[in-house]
Amino acid sequence: MEERRKVVLPANAVPILEQRYLRKDEEGQVVETVEEMFWRVASAVSGAEARWGVAPEVWAERFYDMMARLDFLPNSPTLMNAGTPMGQLSACFVLPVGDSMEEIFDALKWTALVHKSGGGTGFNFSRLRPSGDVVRSTRGVASGPVSFMELFDGCTEVVKQGGMRRGANMGILDCDHPDLLHFLSAKTREGRLANFNISVALSDAFMETLDGDGQWSLVNRRTKEAVRTLPAREIFDLLVESAWATGDPGLIFSDRIEADNPTPHVGRIEATNPCGEQPLLPFESCNLGSINLLHMVEGDDFDWKKLDQTVRLAVRFLDDVIEINAFPLPQIAERSRGNRKIGLGVMGWAEALFHLGLPYDSDEALRKAERLMAFISSVGREESRLLAEERGVFPNWEGSRWQEKGIPLRNATVTTLAPTGTIALISGCSSGIEPVFALAYRRKVFGDQVLTYVNTILTEELQKRGLYTDDLARQIAESGSLKGLDLPEDLRRLFITSHEIHPQWHVKMQAAFQRHTDNAVSKTINLPHEASVDDVAAAYLQAYREGCKGITVYRDRCKAAQVLYRGEEKSSEPTAEKRERKPAGRPGVLRGTTVKIMTSFGNLYLTVNELEGKPFEVFATLGKSGKDTMAHTEALGRLISLALRSGVPSRQIIEQLKGIGGSQPVWESDGVILSLPDAVARGLERALGESFVDSSREMCPSCGAPLVAAEGCLKCEGCGYSKCG
Running DSSP on this structure, what letter comes out for residue 382? H
Number of domains within the chain: 4
Residue 581 has pLDDT above 50, yes or no: no
Largest Cα separation within the chain, whole Å, is 90
Q: Is residue 369 part of a domain?
A: yes
**Looking at residue 701, what is its pLDDT?**
63
Query: Final residue of a domain: which of 496, 528, 545?
Result: 496
Average pLDDT on 703-712 reads 75
Q: At what angle do helices 56-68 and 34-46 cross, to 10 degrees?
A: 140
Residues 81 and 117 occupy one common structural domain: no
Counting beta carbons within 10 angstroms of the beta carbon of residue 356, is it exposed (0 to 12), middle (13 to 18) or buried (19 or more)? middle
Residue 570 has pLDDT above 50, yes or no: no
Instruction: pLDDT band for 565, please (50, 70, 90 cuts).
Output: very low
Query: Final residue of a domain: which of 366, 397, 427?
Result: 427
Domain range for 46 is 13-88+288-427
Instruction: pLDDT band for 564, please (50, 70, 90 cuts).
Output: very low
Q: Which of 61-65, 134-138, 510-514 is predicted least confidently?
A: 134-138
Residue-wise pLDDT for 390-448, tens only, equals 999 999 999 999 999 999 999 999 999 999 988 998 999 999 999 999 998 665 444 45
Give the span between the Cα atoms of 459 and 455, in whole angstroms.
Answer: 6
Q: Is residue 580 part of a domain?
A: no
Q: Which of 349-353, 465-469, 473-477 is predicted least confidently?
A: 473-477
Residues 321 and 464 occupy one common structural domain: no
Residues 218 and 139 occupy one common structural domain: yes
Q: Is residue 549 part of a domain?
A: no
Q: Is residue 34 part of a domain?
A: yes
Residues 164 and 116 occupy one common structural domain: yes
Average pLDDT on 690-700 reads 51
Give the span between the Cα atoms of 159 and 196, in whole angstroms.
Answer: 14
**Looking at residue 213, what is its pLDDT?**
97
Average pLDDT on 172-177 reads 98
Q: Judge whether 682 and 388 are in contact, CB under 8 Å.
A: no
Residues 208 and 312 occupy one common structural domain: no
Residue 487 has pLDDT above 50, yes or no: yes
Query: Higher model confidence: residue 675 or residue 48?
Result: 48
* Closest to 122 (Cα-Cα) out of 327, 283, 272, 315: 272
Q: Is residue 8 part of a domain?
A: no
Three-state SS annotation for 599-647: ECCEEEEEEEEEECCEEEEEEEEECCCCHHHHHHHHHHHHHHHHHHHCC
SS3 330: helix
Residues 452 and 467 occupy one common structural domain: yes
- Give me the active site residues, please: 273, 275, 277
Q: Is residue 716 part of a domain?
A: no
Residue-wise pLDDT for 223-245, tens only, equals 999 999 999 999 999 999 999 99
Residues 254 and 303 occupy one common structural domain: no
The distance of Cα 537 from the centroid of its chain, to the nearest Å, equals 21
Residues 112 and 228 occupy one common structural domain: yes
Residues 395 and 456 occupy one common structural domain: no
Q: How many CB atoms are located within 10 Å of the residue 635 CB?
A: 11
**Looking at residue 563, what is its pLDDT?**
31
Give the span between the Cα atoms of 695 and 702, in whole angstroms.
Answer: 18
Residues 470 and 368 occupy one common structural domain: no
- Convert 68-87 to b/e letters by CB count within 10 Å (16 or more is b): bebbbbbbbbbbbbbbeebb
Q: Is residue 177 part of a domain?
A: yes
Residue 83 has pLDDT above 90, yes or no: yes
Q: How many CB atoms are located within 10 Å of the residue 389 CB?
A: 10
* Closest to 23 (Cα-Cα) out of 69, 85, 70, 66: 85
Query: Final residue of a domain: which of 393, 427, 461?
Result: 427
Residue-wise pLDDT for 587-626, tens only, equals 777 778 888 888 878 888 888 988 877 788 888 888 655 5
**Looking at residue 1, what is its pLDDT?**
45
Polymer length of the chain? 725
Q: How many CB atoms are located within 10 Å of the residue 376 CB?
A: 27
**Looking at residue 719, what is its pLDDT?**
67
Residues 40 and 124 occupy one common structural domain: no
* Closest to 439 (Cα-Cα) out of 504, 469, 483: 483
Residue-wise pLDDT for 392-407, tens only, equals 999 999 999 999 999 9
Residues 366 and 449 occupy one common structural domain: no
**Looking at residue 718, what is its pLDDT?**
65
Q: Is residue 721 part of a domain?
A: no
Q: What is the CATH number of the domain that holds 160?
A: 3.20.70.20
